[in-house]
Structures are given as structure tokens and as C-alpha cells.
A and B are shown apart, each in its own frame.
Chain A
Amino acid sequence: MSLQKEELDYLTKKIGREPNDTERHIVAAEWSEHCSYKSSKIHLKMLPTKGARVIHEKGYDSGVLDVGGGYVVTVHIESHNHPSAVEPYGGAATGVGGVIRDILSAGTRPIALLDGLRFGDIQKDSHAKWLFKNAVTGIADYGNCLGIPTVGGEVEFDKCYSNYALVDVASVGFGKKERLIKNHAKAGDVVVLMGGSTGRDGIGGAQFASDSLETEDRSAVQIPDPFIEKLIIEATLEARNQGLIKAIKDLGGGGLSCAISETADAMGVGIELDVTKVHTREPNMKPSEIMTSESQERMLVITDKKKLAKLQQICKKFRVSCSVIGKVTGNKIMKVTDNKNVLASMPAEIVANAPLLNRPSKQPAYLKQLENKRQPSQPKDLSKTILSLLASPNIASKIWVYGQYDHEVGIRTVVKPGSDAAVLRLDNGKYLSVKIDGNPKHCYLDPKNGAMGCFEEACRNVVCTGATPIGMVDHLQFGNPENPEIFWTFLESLKGITEFCKHFEIPCVGGKVSLYNETPHGPIKPTPLIGVLGLIDKTPLKPQKIELGDVLVMVGITKDELGGSEYYEYIHDFIGGRAPKINLAESKKNMDSVLKIIQNGHVKAAHDCAKGGLAIAVSELSMTSNVGCAISLDKVPKEKLDSAKLLFSESHSRYLLVVEKSKLHVVLSELKKKNVSHSEIGTFQGNEIIFSNKKKLVAKLRVDKAHEKWFNSLRDLVLHA
């Protein structure tokens, strides 16, 4: 957990002398993979970041999008994987805390959280179950206490995460455009540290996160205190309203080292800081400890000397500790003293910008082998297969999870968890639709198409609520980047995301890279996660009750793309085959046409066809409305496939539209006009879900039985198994 030899040489050359011990600690924290993005930065530049709605300001840790009427939405995504794998409760909770402070730093109020959770096989692995339970409680205890609703997310279990955890948290903020904090500072401004005390928890956290998890270094995990975070939110927003904040930055990975150097570098100023002024949790902390502690719930604020008293008054009201720790200087130097002696003095630009790497990459050998593996044969009883899939942990209802999250506080949640995407109402009369999606099983077999598929899936989900995608955030999680094969999967995913962004003109407004996600059994599967924000100008499509006689229209072609499907992996324990690919032209045509039909109010419900394929998507529609349906698989737009493949293929660009009989002709003619592959595949009727192929029965399930399995199995697994 220190500087590499070549980095030390580089630093020595840059500052023209040997760095001292404190300087080494500061730079080691800031040049960790976690803070510096040294492996990924040169490649991340390929992502398009500009757009008509995007607002760029220096030093922002979150993306800002103009949503009209003088309002903005902010968004950010982060993970807290290493800490959560060691101490799931605290790791997950502080993951929530960190991303919220990034939203706050733009001067916006956090209004929603989403979280993506990934663990080992909870059916067989009791440790995975322990991690899962405690991570969920950690998120619930933190988000609920703050009064920020957790409105969506995903949970996935896969053997590749054994003894490990991926905890991704995305947060959305909302505020007035005129109140955005435009980071700026001039010499003589005051540097204030607001919030919790600085302790020995989380020391070296950034380096800990930039290494493979071999030691369970619990002291590198931070301790959560949502109550202080809540007070900081209110104090910061009050200070913002009174115009007391010139610049602000959250203290996250790398602690003060990172916050000070990056703030100074972004604003082109110097900062001089006295470590003895930092309010600490315990005595006798070494300066290097103070500089690299990642204690939570702290904000760095730069204010005008004349406004300091007012800021202190607000902090006093909220009983938030607030120390003046330094001042802004004009010399672009990051200087650390202990009141008497200079402990560190280096140009901020050097500290904040690690030497970047261009790592070698190589296509992994495993890919070809997996694609050509002999595929499993069709099971005899497909009704049973559907029922097992409905009860599988990855597909079963996640109500045990989101039932513990306050998803209604803030009274914005129009479409609640359990649907395709969550919808929040905004103060400008519009609605925001949000979703995050990942699919490591697809990405393992085809990192590029897999990543594009996650992107499309998140888009499909927001589109199903009637929203136009306006921005995305990505979180790229991979194993050790020093392994060229892993680095290749990272680059491929990034290329896929970039292509999709460009084709759909959706800007990337933020993101994060998390590398060195290695378990004792090896690297995790490539796990890029995509969050998409969609905007609804008029009315969101709220899930309506499906009635007998309503018709199901399917959009998109079902292809022989079973690789990485739940059907292959959960039912057959088979990893291999061809993962779904994205055809950009087809993807856009389908999405645009479906969105238009929804926005014109022609459908009762829309659902995307994803994990578990058509069989699961249809069952979900039936179960939510407690009504049966009869589907003819021969009518599904498709390549030549057997019944099992038609039921379970996870091909992209597919949507299910529930249409009232009277509106059917409008929907069909619209799809025909746009030359979109589509078909009327069945009607809602009775109390059974029936699939047939050329009049021959393929599968049949009672809706209530299916619902019972789907609704209860994850909860039962956690509580009773």
C-alpha cells in the first residue's frame, strides 16, 4: 500500500527532491487506482460527455443535467466493494453516504438512491447470505435515516462473487439551476472542514480498494453515522441558500489528501492546511493519518473570510463541527503544516494527477472455448422449468429487499420499486425515470455486447415508463487490470458503451471505475453497470391493471442468444454459448417506436423482455395483475428456434406491450409504419399462463401458484433456508 518505485522516481523528478514521509503518504493515497484512475483515465476519454442538457463545472463529482424550468438533476454512481466484502453493514452504509455527498457537493438535494448488489450463490453459500443480509440492512439503515428514498436497483447472485460483494450505489439530486455551486476560490479564502471528526477508521481505504482483497483489513472500513450525514446535508443546503459556499468537496477515498489536492488543482489555486486544526476523534494522530483518514460524513468547504461567521452559525445550529483548517493561496502549492513546521509542500497539480498508464490488453483465451461448448438440450417439462426460474434468486421478487427501504419518503415516488424503472415527480411538472442495470453473465461471454446490452436494458426500462433517456452514468467493475486479458474486457466494455452513447446521443455524465475486484477464486466476471436517467414531459406510464381480453404485442426479434441466460446458468448450470448482441439500428428503431406509442397513450402497460426471457416477462405481467394469458410462441418474431429457446432467450431490443383491444389497430399500424419487427402474440384470459407452439401446449402454470413461488422464494431463502 505505497508508491511503486517508478512512481516514486516520477514524483522525485517532478518536485525536484526526495519526498518526505508525509508527502509519500499523501501522494500514495491520491495516486491509488481508486483516486487517480491511472489505468483507465486515458481510455475513459472516448466516452462522449457533452450534450444540450449537460452542465459542466470544474470540480464536480456528479453529473448535472438541465431538466428545464430552471431546474437541474444531478447524478452519481459509486461502489463500495472491498469494504462491503469485509464488513457488509458498514461498507454498504458508507457507500450510500459517499455518493450522497457527491450530489450535495453540486449544491443539490439528494432525492433518490438506487443500489446494485451482487454476491455469491446464496442457495449454497451461507457467507454470501450473511453478506447479502447485512449489506441490505446497512443500506436501509443509512438511506432511511437520511430520508432519501431508495427507489430501485438490482440484486444478483453468481458464483464469481463468492466471498466477495459488489455494492453499487447511485444517487440522484435535484435543485434550482441558479443555486448550483460553481466552484471557485481566490487567495485569502478560508478552508473549512465540516462534519464528523477525523479518526483512524478508513486509513488507507483508497489503497485497500486498489488492491486484491487478500487481507481482511477491517480498519480500512469506515464507520457509518447517518445522523451526522443528515445534519451535514441540511447545514450545507442552508449555507448554499445563503450563498456562503464558494467551493465544496466531499471527503471520500484518499481523505483530505485527495480533497485538498483535487480542489486546489481544479480551481488553479494553492491550499495551505494546518493538520493541528482538524478536529480529530482520538489524540496523537500522526499527520499522515489525518491526511489519509477516510472517516465519513465530512465536507471540505471554501468560503469568503467575511462569510465565515455565518457559516459557523449554521454549523452551530445543526451541531455540526466545523474547523477552519487552512486558507487558499495564490501559488498552486498544496502545503501541509503542523502549525510550526512544514510537513508537505508540493504543487497541487502534481499530487492530483498521477502518471497515467497504458496497460497492455489481450483477448482472453476462454472466450472461443465457451462459445463453442455443446449447448444443453431442452428439458421435458417446461412448465416446471418456468416455475424454477420464477423461484430462482436472480428472478424472484426482491420485495424482501426493497420492503426494508423507505422508498416513499420525499413524496416523489410515482412508480415504486418492483416495476421496470422508478419514476419521480419533479417540481417543474416533469418526471424523472431512473434505472441501473448490469449483466455479468452476458459480459463474461461478450464484454462489448454485454455492456451495450446493460445500457440498452436500462434504456428499455425507462422507456417502458414513457421516458426519453437523457443521460447515463457507468460504473466499470473488473478484476486486476495488470492482467492483459482482464484489461481487454474492460476496454471492450468501454468501447461498447461509447458506441451506444454515440448512436443514441446519450451523454455520459458521470461514472466510476473499480478495479482489482478479485476473490480468493479469481477475478469477478466483468461487471459494468449502467444507470440511465429518462425524462417525461407529460404523463408517466404507471402500471395499470391488465383486464381480461387485453392483447399482448411483442416488439423485437427473439434470436438464438441463450449464452449467459438465466436458463442456461441456473437451470443447466451451463456457462457458454452466444450471448445476446446489439444491433444498433434495430435497437434504436424499436426503442423510438415503442416510446412514441407509449407517449401517445396507446398502451396500458409496457415491460421489457430481459432476464429469464419471454417466459418470465409474460409471467411477471400476469402475476402483477393476477390474470392469466395464452401466448402462441409461433407468432413471436424470431429466428428458427425450439420452444425452450423461444421462451428463455434473452435477446435485446424486445418489449412487451399490453394493449386494449380497441387500440390494437393503432399500435399495430404504428409499428408497421416504422417497419419494426412485431406481432400480436396472445391475449390475457383465465387464471393460467399458457404457452403453446403451433397449437401444441408447451407450458402451463396457474397464476396464483406462480406468484406464490416468485413472491416468496427469495425471502424464504434468506429467512428460513
Chain B
Amino acid sequence: MKVGVVVFPGSNCDRDMYHVLGDVFKLDVKYFWHEDKLPKNLDAVVLPGGFSYGDRLRAGVIAAHSPVISDVKKMADKGLPVLGVCNGFQILVESELLPGVLLKNTSLNFMCQWTELIVKNNKTPFTSKFKIGQKIPIPIANGEGRYYIDKENLDKLKKNNQIVFQYGSNINDSVFDIAGICNKEGNVVGMMPHPERAVEPEINPKDCTPSNMIFQSLIATIGARK
């Protein structure tokens, strides 16, 4: 199973994601520089967290114009799993693979803390192993993590079952406490919290079983496809 981790100038969770996919879950993982072509045989791709282009203009907006994005879009169109974490989520939104925007936190500060997610959709490649309503202890670390979408499009998200994760409590005034969403087809998922920081018991002060299921879901999805 071949999974790609895209590295943009300023990505800084790429090595963490690589470690989790490769060392923890034993997947065949490869880095791709933002100017690289993604090979045809890639089974899934992850856009990691960080500060692509130093968050200039707006988080994710410059990276959304990187050459690699057209290949990411091709993979998305083919129905292959695409995951964007934190800045990766911001890039997916800015490249219009996902709807809505991520705004500056209402505290106006960067927030780094542990929180709890609630799984709202278990039909995506990253949540298939979960039960609806299941909780995931996980950390967030962002300055622009407040998800916003207008009423009309929020209704569409709800109707199409595109809300994947909600925060267990209102931590940053995201619309409808949204922490992660997917595209209509469900194969492109973006989330603000960091699953790669939560899968190893050594660094997870709570329970790492649920966060592991995000990656186990991916493995099951890719496996089923083959």
C-alpha cells in the first residue's frame, strides 16, 4: 500500500505523519515535494500540517496553487483517499476540494491543547472503523482553525453527510463545532486536529485506541480496494 505525504515549503508535520504511516502502521510511505508529480500507483495521499509559505496572505492559500495540487485533484476525482490535517485541511479548502473556510481563532491566539472529537460520519476512508458518536481524544495546534461556512452551505453539508468530526465542546467557535469535513463523495477528508500526534501511547496522555482507528480505517479501505 503506497501512501504519499506532500511536503510544501513550510510544512512541519510531514516528518511526524511519515513516521506514523511508515513506522507505526508499516505502510509504504513516500515524501513528495510540492513540485513533484504524484505517481499513478499511489493509493492515498496526505497533506500534512505546518505553515506552508509561512501562512502568508492566509493559511493554505499559496500552497493551494502549488503544482502538486492538480495531481491531488486527479486522485480526488478518482475516488482515492485524500487526507488534509491542519494546514493540509486549510490547503484543501483553499484549493476548493472542500467547502468553507478556516478563520483566525476567536482568541486571536495560536491554540495548542488536547480536546475530544465526536465521529459524525463513518462512511469515509478514514472513519470506516468507527461507530457514529464515538469519541477520539486528540490535540489541536492552530492559529486559524475556526471553521466557517454560511447557513445555506452548512445545510448542504448536513444533508450530504459531509460533517465527519465535531468537537466535543465549543473550543474555538467553529460553525456547528465542526472539526473535520469531507467532500460529497466522502473520499477527501480535512480535519484540524492532529491524528499523527495521538496514535502512540508514549505521547498520548489519554487513550490512543480511537485515533489509531483513523489509520486502521485507511488501511482497511485501501486493502478492500485491492
Contact = CB atoms under 8 A, between A and B. Distances in A.
- Tell me, yes or no, whether A binds B: yes
B54 A225 contact: yes
B133 interface: no
A427 to B, nearest CB: 10
B194 A416 contact: no
Interface in B70-84: none
Contacts of A141: 110
Interface in A295-329: 317-319
B113 A403 contact: yes
Q: Give the size category of A's interface with B.
A: 20 to 34
Interface string B1-42: 000000001101101100110000000000001000000000
Contact of A411 (B10, B19, B33, B143): B19
B202 A145 contact: no
A384 B139 CA distance: 36
B20 to A, nearest CB: 8
Interface string B108-149: 011111000000000000000000000000010101000000
Contacts of B55: 145
Given A413-B203, A414-B202, A405 B50 contact: no
Nearest to B12: A147
A412 B203 contact: yes
B89 to A, nearest CB: 16
A411 B203 contact: yes
A553 interface: no
B196 interface: yes
Contacts of A402: 112
Contacts of B196: 411
B167 interface: no
B158 interface: no
Contact of B10 (A145, A317, A542): A145
Nearest to A140: B110
A675 interface: no
Contacts of A196: none
B203 A409 contact: no
Interface string B144-174: 0000000000000000000000000000000
Contact of B51 (A226, A317, A318, A416): A226
Contact of A407 (B12, B112, B200): B112
Given A227-B54, A230-B51, A408 B197 contact: yes
Contacts of B15: 410
A423 B222 CA distance: 36
Interface string B84-102: 0000000000000000000
Q: For B13, B50, B110, which residue has the most chain A Cβ atoms within 10 angstroms? A: B110
B112 to A, nearest CB: 5
A231 interface: yes
A459 B125 CA distance: 48
A144 B110 contact: yes
A231 B111 contact: no
Q: For B12, B33, B112, which residue has the most chain A Cβ atoms within 10 angstroms? A: B112
A404 B111 contact: yes
A365 B197 CA distance: 55
Interface string A131-142: 000000100110
A425 B54 contact: no
Nearest to B50: A147
Nearest to B48: A147
A405 B50 CA distance: 13
B112 A404 contact: yes
Contacts of A146: 12
Contacts of B139: 408
A410 B9 contact: no
Q: Give the size category of B's interface with A.
A: 20 to 34
B67 interface: no
A94 to B, nearest CB: 15
B10 A230 contact: yes
B56 interface: yes
Contact of A226 (B13, B16, B20, B54): B54
A316 B106 CA distance: 38
Contacts of B19: 411
Interface string B196-211: 1100101101000000
B51 A144 contact: yes
B123 to A, nearest CB: 29
A335 to B, nearest CB: 36
Q: For B53, B54, B56, B197, which residue has the most chain A Cβ atoms within 10 angstroms? A: B54
A542 B139 CA distance: 18
Interface in B185-199: 194, 196-197
B50 A227 contact: no
Nearest to B197: A408
Given A404-B112, A405-B112, A227 B13 contact: no
A410 B205 CA distance: 16
A108 to B, nearest CB: 15
Interface in A530-552: 542
Interface in A54-96: none
A317 B34 CA distance: 10
Q: For B143, B194, B203, which residue has the most chain A Cβ atoms within 10 angstroms? A: B203
Contacts of A406: 110, 112, 141
Contacts of B111: 403-404
A318 B9 contact: yes
B51 A409 contact: no
A231 B9 CA distance: 7
A403 B111 CA distance: 6
Given A230-B51, A230-B54, A404-B110, A411 B200 contact: yes
A225 B200 CA distance: 33
Contacts of A414: 202-203
A403 B112 contact: yes
A425 B202 contact: yes
Contacts of A413: 203
A397 to B, nearest CB: 13
A576 to B, nearest CB: 39
Contacts of A425: 202-203
B110 A408 contact: no
B141 A408 contact: yes
A407 B197 CA distance: 11
A408 B51 contact: no
Contacts of B10: 145, 227, 230-231
A409 B9 contact: no
Contact of B109 (A137, A147, A416): A137
B115 to A, nearest CB: 12
Given A318-B9, A403-B112, A404-B112, A411 B197 contact: yes
A615 to B, nearest CB: 27
Given A145-B55, A225-B54, 17 more contacts: A144-B112, A145-B12, A145-B54, A147-B12, A147-B51, A226-B51, A317-B33, A403-B109, A408-B112, A408-B139, A408-B197, A410-B16, A411-B19, A411-B203, A412-B203, A414-B203, A416-B205
Give the top 9 A-B pairs by smallest Cβ distance, nearest first.
A147-B12, A227-B54, A145-B51, A406-B141, A411-B16, A404-B110, A404-B109, A406-B112, A408-B197
Interface of A: 137, 140-141, 144-147, 225-227, 230-231, 317-319, 402-414, 416, 425, 542
21 contacts: A145-B10, A145-B12, A226-B51, A226-B54, A227-B51, A227-B53, A231-B10, A319-B9, A404-B110, A406-B141, A408-B112, A408-B194, A408-B197, A408-B203, A409-B16, A409-B197, A411-B16, A411-B203, A414-B202, A425-B202, A542-B205
